[in-house]
Amino acid sequence: MKIFKKIMMPAAVVVVSAVFAPEIFAQRITAEEVESKSKDEFIDGLLGRMTVDEKIGQLNLPSYGNVKPDAKKSDIAGRITRGEVGGIFNIFGVDDIRALQEVAVEESRLGIPIIIGADICQGYKTTFPVPLALSCSWKPENIEEVARISAREVSTDGVCWTYSPMVDISRDARWGRVKEGAGEDPYLGSLMAAAWVRGYQSDDLSADTTIMACVKHFALYGASESGRDYNPVDMSRVTAMNYYMQPYKAAVDAGVGSVMTSFNEFESVPATGNSWLLRDILREEWGFEGFVVSDYTAIKEMVSHGVGNQDEVSLQAFKAGVDMDMIADFYDGSLKRLLDEGKISEKELDAACRRMLVAKYDLGLFHNPYRYCNPERGEKELRSAANLAASRRIAAESYVLLKNDGDLLPLDGVKKVAVVGPLADSRANMCGSWAKDAVTGEYNGLVENLRKALGAGVEVVYARGCNLVDDEKYEYNFTSREINKRGDGKELLAEALKVVNGADVIIAAMGEAEAMSGEGASRAILEMPDCQKTLMDALDATGIPVAMVLFTGRPLALERQAAQADAVLNVWMGGSEAGAAIADVLTGKVNPSAKLTMSFPRVTGQCPIYYNHKNTGRPMAPEAWYTRYVSNYIDVPNEPLYPFGYGLSYTEYEYGQVNLSSDEMTADGTIEASVVVTNAGQRDGEEIVQLYLRDMVRSVTPPVMELKDYKRIALKAGESRTVTFNIDVNDLKFFNSVLDYVAEPGEFTVMIGGNSLDVESAKFVLK
């Protein structure tokens, strides 16, 4: 490892300190100390010469405030000099970051570097689809590549720690943050969680091209009541362990360096002060050894939860296991007083401080505190041709074809294409709400890319057609970079109807602005805005075939609009190369293969809706629509509009019967389940073959099905292949009523198919 050799204190200052205050700077970290000692020896020695105030300072993660025009003269620089800061939250700009790091290393008493964290959730300068979209590829390797590119880019600009991945299981599309996760399934979510961690951290966290991951939000944040952000979570521990906790554990098992607490309460205790979550499960059961950071002001918000004053909630969070206080400054104001009162011990303070120092050591900051400030490498990495090509490919692999009547797509043999809709040429709304440093001015929109893809022989015309929303109060409730570019609704519609005249096909670009989903963007009504519905009604009335391109950060309730459209392509929010990737799919350069990882409701009232639900004591009979006194609605079917695992292709796949190698399995044995899959269409393609299991009888009520494995296969037109899955006892285990992880003897149903509602099945017995 390269050792940072720079003398860490100007000679003149050293002389002055030696004369007037020898204790102040004599114990500063030296390069020789870092190089000659083991990690434990180095950190033990550093802890031994830190004051209580300096130890508490390492647990403080404030915002940077105003660092212009001179970061070294800013308020935060003064706090760093006094040893009051362990890291800085969401600061960007390599020059300012380096300046503040110089203050930490060269002007604070011990010269301890600061850790720089930021929300890098779907790329940096090169942006990628929102994580929910990425999960729909069912390709963990894509997510690992996104994280790897994100780390390589942002690590040139001073950032060494990301508040990602978000792995909260999300069953309710009303919750705006569903876009940040991998949907409703714990098995698939676990694969994606581990992939994010591998991509960010690689196998060498000290490399200057890797960054530390922070899995969030621990725990259960995605189950907020009514889908309203920050709301309480009310569920049993059995439900939590069986359906929500696995992705967090997968991240821990993958070696994630840090964990972020969540805003919600669980069992009437705020998660940020919940000892069962943070100590019993995270530390003791899972063996997590990294550091825990609160979410933004989450410790302070415990006061609003009603569990205590500043000192009381700081004590509760600290005792529960929160090492670092993000933004609130509650630790800075309370921990020393709590120590003086004997409510916490210096041993406990040392343990928390040690975890912060270990993280900095593992990141290589003690060896070279400026290792992540590398604008020269940034010139090669940021928005490189290779990174943009990856963004385009990965985006196209995330798009889900939901409908394609009459094989309207891919576009072929057309002479005039009309692109209509408020999102048809919107660059700013393509990337998503966490693409904070996206260079949207360099994006290419859908219209431009479609013209290029179709060539000079096809006329591509464009009209906006309507505003994104037509309710000014609703519009005022959120902010978007293009939301206020309003026009007269009647004039926009008239223009669109004029433009589509004579078109062979209409591409209707509809859906959400980037700020309509994400944090603080819960929605009680998941339908399209009324003005977009009006536009779809008008386009449908023309009789011209309509392909709806759906931009969204969440599943929407669009049963009427989906019925009006001949084709529906869900493109989510696709990042830097969304326009090019959409054109690739619309024109057939890419055959879509993505599958939904979150169910689309027919109406908002079905939410939360998810595939792995319980059966109830009065289940709906198969193929029935409505029966009195069973578990159903009187006005809509139980089933979603589009189920988990669903997604079409430009070809068709047929499944044969499920064959089992045996109808019995022992606890130490395995069973093979196989099925023949045939590409019955005219195009080559890829299919995601999904394996589900159902435990027919067990000591706690089972779900109707659970995803246990899947395989992505490439089939040429007309080709058939036998796909085989191995099932062992680990696939049959669950948490029982006392939270033991067990498999119980009995009958199981094996289901294999192309989505959760279209499967072939067979049965076996576990002896």
Nearest-angstrom CA–CA distance, 288 and 279: 9
The pLDDT-based confidence of 634 (bands split at 50, 70, 90) is very high
Q: Respond yes or no: is residue 295 known to be catalytic.
A: yes
Nearest-angstrom CA–CA distance, 248 and 254: 10
> Lowest-pLDDT range, 161-175, 443-457, 615-629?
615-629
Nearest-angstrom CA–CA distance, 355 and 353: 5
The pLDDT-based confidence of 475 (bands split at 50, 70, 90) is low
DSSP calls for 573-640: ---TTHHHHHHHHHTTSS------SSPBPSSGGG-S--SS-B--SSPPPTT-S--TTSSS-SSS-SS-
The pLDDT-based confidence of 14 (bands split at 50, 70, 90) is very low
Q: How far is CA 211 from CA 135, 195, 268, 294, 376, in A?
A: 21, 14, 35, 19, 18
Helical pair 310-320 and 330-340, crossing angle rounded to 10 deg:
80
The pLDDT-based confidence of 471 (bands split at 50, 70, 90) is confident
The answer to whether the 397-606 and 653-766 domains have the same CATH topology is no
The pLDDT-based confidence of 618 (bands split at 50, 70, 90) is very high
The pLDDT-based confidence of 455 (bands split at 50, 70, 90) is very high
pLDDT at 6 over 90: no
Percent of the chain, pLDDT > 70? 93
pLDDT at 351 over 50: yes
pLDDT at 162 over 70: yes
Structure confidence at residue 530 (pLDDT): 95
Among the listed residues 196, 211, 203, the one whose alpha carbon sits nearest the alpha carbon of residue 364 = 211
Nearest-angstrom CA–CA distance, 418 and 397: 25
pLDDT at 545 over 90: yes
The pLDDT-based confidence of 459 (bands split at 50, 70, 90) is very high
Yes or no: domain 653-766 corresponds to CATH 2.60.40.10:
yes
Nearest-angstrom CA–CA distance, 437 and 75: 24
Average pLDDT rounded to a whole number, residues 314-319 = 99
Among the listed residues 391, 482, 500, the one whose alpha carbon sits nearest the alpha carbon of residue 441 = 482
pLDDT at 520 over 90: yes
The pLDDT-based confidence of 667 (bands split at 50, 70, 90) is very high
Nearest-angstrom CA–CA distance, 372 and 254: 23
DSSP 8-state assignment for residue 4: P
Average pLDDT rounded to a whole number, residues 604-609 = 98
Strands 87-89 and 115-118: parallel
Average pLDDT rounded to a whole number, residues 239-255 = 99
- Break the chain into its structural domains and give their ranges: 1-117+329-362, 397-606, 653-766
The pLDDT-based confidence of 427 (bands split at 50, 70, 90) is confident
Question: In a 3-state reduction of DSSP, which class is residue 279?
Answer: helix
Structure confidence at residue 682 (pLDDT): 96
pLDDT at 477 over 70: no
Structure confidence at residue 310 (pLDDT): 98
The whole-chain average pLDDT of the chain stands at 94
What is the dihedral sign for C-alpha 248, 250, 252, 256?
Answer: negative
- Please check whether residue 320 is in contact with residue 278, taking contact to mean a CB–CB distance below 8 angstroms: yes
pLDDT at 719 over 90: yes
Structure confidence at residue 749 (pLDDT): 99
State if pTM tops 0.75. yes
How many residues would you count in the chain? 767
Nearest-angstrom CA–CA distance, 709 and 645: 12
pLDDT at 12 over 70: no
DSSP calls for 57-103: HTTEE-B-----S-GGGSHHHHHHHTT--SEEES---HHHHHHHHHH
Among the listed residues 263, 237, 374, the one whose alpha carbon sits nearest the alpha carbon of residue 738 = 237
pLDDT at 7 over 90: no
- Which residue among the candidates 119, 157, 168, 295 is catalytic per the annotation? 295
The pLDDT-based confidence of 66 (bands split at 50, 70, 90) is confident
Q: Which fold has domain 397-606?
A: Rossmann fold (3.40.50)
Question: In a 3-state reduction of DSSP, which class is residue 730?
Answer: helix
Nearest-angstrom CA–CA distance, 653 and 721: 11
